[in-house]
Structure 1
Amino acid sequence: MNAISLGAPVPGPRAGQVAAGHRHTQPPDQARERPRVGPGWMRRRVYSALDLGTNNCRLLVAKPVRGGFRVIDAFSRIVRLGQGVAASGTLAEDAMERAIAALKICAEKMDRRRATLRRSVATQACRVASNCGAFIDRVRSETGIALDVITAEEEARLAVLGCQSLLDPTVGDALVFDIGGGSTELIWVKT
């Protein structure tokens, strides 16, 4: 379990970076795409967020609207990628097959919706598996998806960003739990 206090930004890799010990597979220009300026450019943008966790593969595809985003596609599948990792230290072949099958569906959805800004992350199972690099390469080869293996700190930071609008600043500080299939992060948020 990881406890993180957020009074300032949580350190960790950002888009286009990868956790220590893992190779970077995403081209820098894809990770740092600059928005095109001009009338209506925001309305034409399509964003996707993909989270390959220890247990689940989740995808959201959204368009910006006034005051937020409108989800235009979503996907969630239990893949059990981390099955057996604690005992063996490696991702099992059948678990990788399940994950890649789900990721192929995600890739098709992102392409069909023309997602121009994409963030695809992998968490605990990939952080601890000794064969993670080979799996990440295989995912890229078979699906075109460039997964970033993020640290627990970055996972916690993203969890807080995802629920930030739900926190009531008049109540005071908050404790946010991110309970995943292979790790739990506790984040103390100072308001």
Structure 2
Amino acid sequence: MSADWRETIRRRRAEKDDYFGEHPRSPIPDDEREAFEGLNYYPIDEDYRFVLPLHEHDDVEQVTVGTSTEGEREYHRIGEFRFEVDGEAVALQAYKADRDDDRLWVPFRDATGGEETYGAGRYLDLEPDDHRTDGGEWVVNFNEAYNPTCAYADRYECPLPPTENWLGVPIEAGEKTYR
């Protein structure tokens, strides 16, 4: 991510709004697209941006993750991020769909779920080129948290955050509920 990460997030949000409002493959249902004025986000907040080591697991486990349509998907639990939110210690597991993939998937559900944010949870995608520091740490920036496609329309199947990634603290950053 660029040196001015805030501007990068603003730009990406605007691009996503354009895509969701205009593109034929938008997850926004066709009958709602004309009235679509953009997604709702929390204000960008530096307190929800962390630079963290990934505590890699000695034994990478394959885990089964349920989906929004009662299906299942397999992921590899690679490691965990440990940090504090409002003075409370929390941890989130990081997963990969394929062990050889460089990208980390960090699904989570937090105390805002069902009220201010999508009740089933949100995602972070951590790409090494954008989220890995020269020292090997990861930038875990909740201002980039986004809703899965099933938050917009029932026709999508989305993996649900495993219960080990349900946080008891609010993460007031990133994308809010669609409706």
Q: TM-score, normalised by structure 1?
A: 0.27
Higher helix share: 1
Which structure has more RCO (C-alpha within 8 Å, separation ≥ 6)?
A: 1
Larger radius of gyration: 1
